[in-house]
C-alpha cells in the first residue's frame, strides 16, 4: 500500500477544508510506453484499495483484469478507514462523491495518468465513476458502472439514515446494527430463503438471527463507525446533475466513453430500472443484467457472469 500526502489545503464541496489530505492506494502491473493500459477500480462502501482481496476472479493473475496486461489503480476513498484521510468523530466535515472524485484526480496527476482505458466499480464505486466520467468526458475510454445510479434514491437514503440513527445512539454497537440493516438491502428474500432457512422445527436461535449478528460483529471488528457514518452521507449526496440544474439527461450526455452498464435482477437497493435509465441516457452504452439470488451483493459474487460481459465488451 502506498500513500499520497497533499500539502495544499483541500477544498470540499461544502466550502470546508481538509489539511494534509492523504490518499491511500495500490497499483499493480506496469504502465506501458503509450500510457494507454490503465484500469481504475473503484471500491464500494466498506471496501479497500486491494481488489485482489475483495474481487477475486475479476481481478488477479489469469483474470479478466490481469496485472500482466494492465496498469491497475485502486485508491481508498476519502473518508474511509483504510489509510486515506478519515473521521475520528461525528464532527468531520461533510464529504460528497464529488469530493472523493476530486481527491482521485490528485492521485491521477501524481501518477501522471492522462487517459484511463477502463474505469470499473460497483455500488458507491460506480457512483464515483459516473461522477468522474461526467466531469472529465474524455478521460475514460470505457466505463463499467455496476449496480449503481446517477443519483442516490430516497429508498437508499432511507436505508442509510436508519443505519446512521443506530450509530448515533452508540457508535460501536450501532455499527453492528447498521450492518445488519444494510444486509437486508444488500441481499434478497431468496438469498435468505436459500441460505438461512432452518430445516428443523426450532422456535428460537434461528440461523437468520445468528447470521445478522455475525455480519454486524464481523464488520465492527474491521471498520470505523465514524467512517461508515461519513461514507453513507457521501453516498446520499450523489447526484451527477447537481451542476446541470438537476437536468439528469443533460449531465449524462456529457459522458463520451463507451458505457458497459450492468445491473442485477434481484437488487432491491439499486434496482435495474436505475441502470436501464443510465443506458438510455448515455450515448454508446449497453445494458447487461446479472441473474443472481444474492441481490445487490451479486456484483461481488457473480464473477463468471461479469467476466463473460467484460470479455465480450472490452
pLDDT (0 to 100) of residue 181:
98
Residue 290, phi then psi, degrees to nearest 5: -85, 140
Report the pLDDT averaged over residues 292-310.
Answer: 98
Inter-CA distances, 72 with 1, 42, 110, Å: 13, 11, 15
Looking at the predicted structure, is the pLDDT value of residue 314 above 90?
no
Cα–Cα dist 135/97, whole Å: 12
Q: What is the pLDDT of residues 70-105, one digit of tens each?
A: 999 999 999 999 999 999 999 999 999 999 999 999
Contact of 77 with 110, CB cutoff 8 Å: no
Give the pLDDT confidence score for residue 2 in this predicted structure. Answer: 97
Question: What pLDDT digit, counting tens, does each position of 234-257 carry?
Answer: 999 999 999 999 999 999 999 999
What DSSP element (H or E) covers 90? none
pLDDT digit string (tens) for 175-185?
A: 999 999 999 99
Q: What is the mean pLDDT of the chain?
A: 97
pLDDT band at 307 (very low <50, low <70, confident <90, very high): very high
Alpha carbon distance 43, 191 (integer Å): 23
For residue 142, how many C-alpha atoms fall within 13 Å in the half-sphere facing its CB?
Answer: 16
Rg for the chain, CA atoms, rounded: 19
Cα atoms in the Cβ-side hemisphere of radius 13 Å centred on 15:
0
Neighbours of 12 (CB within 10 A): 17
**Contact at 8 Å (CB) between 130 and 257?**
no
**pLDDT, average across residues 196-212:** 95
Q: Is 90 exceeded by the pLDDT of residue 15?
A: yes
The residues annotated as belonging to the active site are: 123, 267, 296
Q: Residues 45-60, buried b or exposed e (16+ Cβ, 10 A)?
A: bbbbbbbbebbeebbb
Over residues 200-205, mean pLDDT? 94
- Please check whether residue 220 is in contact with residue 165, taking contact to mean a CB–CB distance below 8 angstroms: no
pLDDT of residue 183: 98
3-class state of residue 189 by DSSP: helix
Contact assessment for residue 185 and residue 267, using Cβ atoms and an 8 Å cutoff: no
Among positive and negative, which fits the CA dihedral 177, 180, 184, 186? positive
Say what the pLDDT of residue 300 is.
98
- How far is Cα 207 from Cα 192, in angstroms, rounded to an integer? 9
SS3 65: strand
Over residues 284-311, mean pLDDT = 97
Burial 279-307 (b: 16+ CB within 10 A, else e): bebbeebebbbbebbbbbbbbbbbbebbe
Amino acid at each position: 500500500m502506498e500513500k499520497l500526502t497533499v500539502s495544499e489545503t483541500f477544498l470540499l464541496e461544502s466550502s470546508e477544508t481538509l489539511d494534509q489530505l492523504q490518499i491511500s492506494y495500490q497499483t499493480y502491473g506496469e504502465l506501458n510506453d503509450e500510457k494507454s493500459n490503465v484500469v481504475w477500480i473503484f471500491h464500494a462502501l466498506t471496501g479497500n484499495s486491494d481488489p485482489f482481496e475483495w474481487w477475486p476472479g475479476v481481478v488477479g493473475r489469469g483474470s479478466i483484469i490481469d496485472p500482466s496486461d494492465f496498469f491497475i489503480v485502486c485508491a481508498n476513498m476519502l473518508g474511509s478507514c483504510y489509510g486515506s484521510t478519515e473521521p475520528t468523530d461525528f464532527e468531520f466535515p461533510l464529504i460528497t462523491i464529488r469530493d472523493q472524485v476530486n481527491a482521485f484526480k490528485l492521485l491521477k496527476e501524481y501518477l501522471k495518468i492522462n487517459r484511463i482505458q477502463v474505469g470499473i466499480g460497483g455500488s458507491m464505486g460506480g457512483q464515483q465513476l459516473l461522477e468522474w466520467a461526467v466531469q472529465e468526458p474524455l478521460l475514460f475510454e470505457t466505463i463499467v458502472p455496476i449496480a449503481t445510479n446517477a443519483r442516490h434514491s430516497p429508498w437508499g437514503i432511507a436505508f442509510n439514515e436508519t443505519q446512521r440513527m443506530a450509530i448515533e445512539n452508540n457508535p460501536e454497537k450501532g455499527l453492528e446494527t447498521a450492518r445488519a440493516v444494510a444486509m437486508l438491502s444488500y441481499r434478497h428474500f431468496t438469498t435468505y430463503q436459500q441460505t438461512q432457512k432452518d430445516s428443523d422445527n426450532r422456535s428460537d436461535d434461528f440461523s437468520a438471527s445468528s447470521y445478522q449478528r455475525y455480519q454486524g460483529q464481523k464488520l465492527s471488528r474491521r471498520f470505523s463507525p465514524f467512517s461508515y457514518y461519513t461514507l453513507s452521507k457521501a453516498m446520499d449526496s450523489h447526484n451527477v446533475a447537481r451542476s446541470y440544474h438537476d437536468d439528469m439527461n443533460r449531465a449524462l450526455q456529457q459522458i463520451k466513453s463507451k458505457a458497459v452498464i450492468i445491473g442485477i435482477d434481484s437488487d432491491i437497493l439499486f434496482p435495474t430500472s436505475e441502470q436501464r435509465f443510465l443506458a438510455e441516457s448515455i450515448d454508446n452504452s449497453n445494458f447487461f443484467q446479472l441473474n443472481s439470488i444474492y441481490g445487490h451483493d451479486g456484483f461481488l459474487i457473480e464473477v463468471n457472469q461479469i467476466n463473460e460481459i467484460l470479455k465480450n465488451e472490452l
